[in-house]
């Protein structure tokens, strides 16, 4: 659920505090300087030397203003291009495929189907690109040091997007985003935490920039209201047709990142954010709970769970508190999902294959509870039990901290609690273009989950 989102982080900009986005126009190149009063005929000036010079001056002027607001010196100029929205989406797609292996992205789409978060035959990359086309406003490419903006932006949206992307340019100049954004297999939660810092920083400063004329800054906006504006803006129009999990995962680094950065700013201003860049959060738990970032609370090391007999592990990663919360949110309310993921200590998930069959398992270890060691895990299981029974019609015939949904297509979906551990298993099943075929049942899933729990060090 995260690799392609991490590759796309920075591509969606919440200009004008979530205001309506313009309707895309036919293919053309529009100058960065275009404003609300520009006509379609003005687009031709983008190809003239005079227009290019005006654009360069506008970028330089805005970079100077953003640099002053953010308190970071610009070390070099930032080239910028405007593209028709479809071309912008293609550029982002190329960036995603350059940074993350195509096979890993494809496998994530298959896993989404196995969990039941997307329909059979779901094309992950195409669906995400379609979602972006309705939301995309700009992005910064650390590889080339160039920022790209959608050519149909006008007025405050154009100003906000330009400011946002220039913050990413400043981050790159001071903390080397190219190096930090390099694909690191198995470190998804750490990468998501860094994406939240980057997007929270850029979005917070962008709001400072557009609110400066009103004598306010981003800290004047309640975090809850700002988060709701972001979440709602990606659930209207064409975007509302995208699977829920894609929308929540795409917006998560912005929503949680802004709350994290604002907590730092309220305590120590922009210097506290700079300090976070010097020693970034290493888990999304630290992002969601700034007090744990302050104490550098580490994650518990959790070994990858063993697969079903005869299966080969093809991938493994850590979901983190945020990743699990987003997953749980597909089975229950957002608040219940946060409660179920709360007091996360560590986790490890893995994907397994045998021929054309696929299966997934996640082992989550919760922190020690105050009243008893397994209190947090028991709370999580209780939420998951209710969510799976309500959403999937799961049952618990065996009792003893076990619940399972017997799905005829994507195979069993089971959750087992043993002490501080919660084990989630899905499959095995055989993918198909229009339908899947289960390759196991809840009895087999329970034995697999018990084997995982017994293998925990």
324 and 279 assigned to the same domain: no
The HSE-up count of residue 266 (CA atoms within 13 Å, CB side) is: 13
Highest average pLDDT, of 4-13, 314-323, 395-404, comes from 314-323
Domain endpoint, select from 256, 290, 324: 290
- Specify whether 330 is located in the same domain as 216: no
Q: Which residue, of 232, 258, 290, is where some domain finishes? A: 290
Structural domain contains residue 295: no
Asked whether 207 and 108 are in contact (CB, 8 A), the reply is no
If asked whether residues 39 and 87 sit together in one domain, one would say: yes
Establish if 335 belongs to a structural domain: yes
Ordered alpha helix ranges (H), 181-243: 188-211, 223-233
Q: Which of these, 422, 442, 322, 332, lies nearest to 386 by C-alpha position?
A: 332
- What distance separates the 2 farthest-apart alpha carbons in the chain? 75
**Residues 351, 278 share a domain:** no
Pull the structure tokens for residue 251: 């917006």
Q: State residue 39's pLDDT score.
A: 32
For every residue of 7-68, DSSP letters joined together read HHTTSB--GGGTPPPPPP-SS----TT--TT--GGGGGGGGSHHHHHHHHHHHHHHHHHHHH
**Tens digit of each residue's pLDDT (9 = 90 or more) over 238-285:** 677 788 988 898 899 999 999 999 999 999 999 999 999 999 999 999
Q: Which residues pair with 423 in a beta bridge?
A: 363, 416
Residues 281 and 334 in one domain: no
Q: Tell me: the pLDDT tens digits for 390-403? A: 999 999 876 789 99
Same domain for 241 and 323, yes or no, is: no
Domain contains 301: no
Q: Are residues 147 and 32 in the same domain?
A: yes
Instruction: Please compute the mean of the pLDDT values over residues 75-90 and round it to a whole number.
Output: 87
CATH number at residue 410: 3.40.1000
Euclidean distance between CA atoms 83 and 241, whole angstroms? 25
Is residue 353 a part of any domain in this protein?
yes
Query: Same domain for 37 and 73?
Result: yes
Q: How many angstroms separate the CA atoms of 274 and 76, rounded?
A: 19
Which residue range(s) make up the domain with 405?
Answer: 312-455
Question: Residue 84: helix, strand or coil by DSSP?
Answer: coil
State yes or no: pLDDT of 31 exceeds 70. Answer: no
Asked, for residue 296, whether it belongs to a domain, the answer is no
Instruction: Look at 135 and 253; give whichever has higher pLDDT.
Output: 253
Higher pLDDT, 90 or 350: 350
Return all residues near 80 (Cβ < 8 A) that are at least 6 apart. Answer: 32, 55, 56, 59, 146, 147, 148, 149, 162, 165
Q: Do residue 104 and residue 244 come from a single domain?
A: yes
DSSP tag of 118: S
Split into its structural domains, the chain has a count of 2
Spell out the residues 6+ positions from residue 20 whose beta carbon is closer than 8 angstroms to its own: none
In terms of DSSP bridges, do strands 344-354 and 357-366 run parallel, antiparallel, or are they unpaired? antiparallel
Nearest Cα residue to 142 out of 118, 177, 112, 114: 177
Mean pLDDT of 49-66: 81
Which has the closest alpha carbon to 187: 284, 103, 271, 79? 284
C-alpha span between 126 and 122 (Å, rounded) = 9
d(CA 89, CA 12): 11
Please indicate, yes or no, if residue 51 is contained in any of the structural domains: yes
| Domain co-membership, 261 together with 385 | no
> Is residue 302 in some structural domain?
no
pTM of the model: 0.89
State whether 92 and 223 are in the same domain. yes
Position 43 pLDDT exceeds 80: no
**How far apart are the C-alpha atoms of 277 and 256, rounded to whole Å?**
16
Domain finish residue from 238, 257, 290: 290
How does pLDDT run across 159-207, given as a tens digit for each residue?
A: 898 999 999 999 999 999 988 877 788 899 999 999 999 999 999 999 9
Domain shared by 118 and 149, yes or no:
yes
Contact of 358 with 315, CB cutoff 8 Å:
no
Q: How far apart are the first and last CA of the chain?
A: 27
In the numeric block, the tokens 């002490």 are attached to 419
DSSP 365: E
């Amino acid at each position: 659920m995260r690799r392609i989102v991490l590759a796309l982080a920075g591509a969606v900009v919440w200009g004008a505090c979530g205001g309506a986005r313009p309707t895309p126009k036919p293919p053309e190149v529009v100058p960065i300087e275009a404003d609300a009063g520009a006509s379609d005929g003005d687009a031709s000036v983008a190809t003239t030397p005079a227009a290019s010079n005006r654009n360069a001056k506008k970028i330089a002027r805005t970079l100077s203003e953003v640099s002053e607001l953010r308190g970071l010196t610009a070390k070099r100029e930032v080239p910028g291009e405007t593209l028709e929205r479809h071309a912008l989406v293609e550029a982002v797609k190329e960036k995603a495929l350059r940074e993350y292996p195509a096979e890993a992205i494809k496998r994530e789409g298959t896993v989404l189907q196995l969990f039941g978060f997307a329909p059979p035959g779901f094309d992950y990359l195409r669906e995400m690109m379609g979602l972006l086309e309705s939301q995309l406003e700009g992005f910064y490419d650390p590889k080339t040091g160039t920022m790209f903006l959608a050519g149909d932006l006008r007025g405050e949206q154009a100003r906000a997007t330009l400011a946002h992307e220039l913050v990413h340019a400043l981050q790159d100049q001071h903390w080397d985003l190219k190096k930090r954004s390099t694909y690191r297999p198995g470190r998804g939660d750490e990468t998501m935490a860094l994406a939240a810092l980057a997007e929270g920083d850029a979005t917070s400063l962008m709001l400072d920039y557009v609110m400066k004329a009103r004598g306010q800054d981003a800290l004047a906006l309640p975090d809850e209201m700002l988060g709701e504006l972001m979440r709602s803006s990606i659930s209207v129009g064409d975007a509302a047709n995208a699977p829920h999990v894609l929308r929540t995962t795409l917006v998560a680094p912005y929503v949680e990142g802004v709350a994290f950065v604002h907590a730092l700013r309220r305590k120590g201003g922009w210097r506290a954010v700079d300090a976070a860049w010097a020693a970034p959060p290493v888990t999304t738990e630290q992002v969601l709970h700034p007090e744990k970032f302050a104490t550098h609370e580490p994650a518990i090391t959790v070994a990858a769970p063993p697969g079903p007999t005869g299966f080969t592990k093809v991938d493994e990663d850590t979901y983190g508190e945020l990743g699990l919360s987003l997953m749980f949110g597909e089975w229950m309310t957002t608040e219940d999902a946060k409660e179920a993921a709360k007091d996360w200590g560590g986790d490890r998930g893995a994907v397994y294959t045998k021929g054309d069959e696929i299966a997934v398992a996640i082992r989550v270890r919760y922190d020690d509870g105050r009243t008893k060691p397994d209190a947090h895990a028991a709370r999580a299981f209780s939420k998951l039990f209710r969510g799976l029974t309500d959403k999937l019609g799961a049952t618990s015939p065996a009792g003893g901290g076990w619940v399972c949904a017997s799905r005829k297509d994507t195979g069993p979906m089971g959750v087992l609690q043993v002490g501080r551990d919660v084990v989630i298993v899905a499959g095995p099943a055989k993918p198909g273009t229009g339908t899947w075929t289960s390759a196991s049942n809840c009895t087999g899933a329970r034995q697999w989950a018990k084997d995982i729990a017994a293998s925990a060090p």
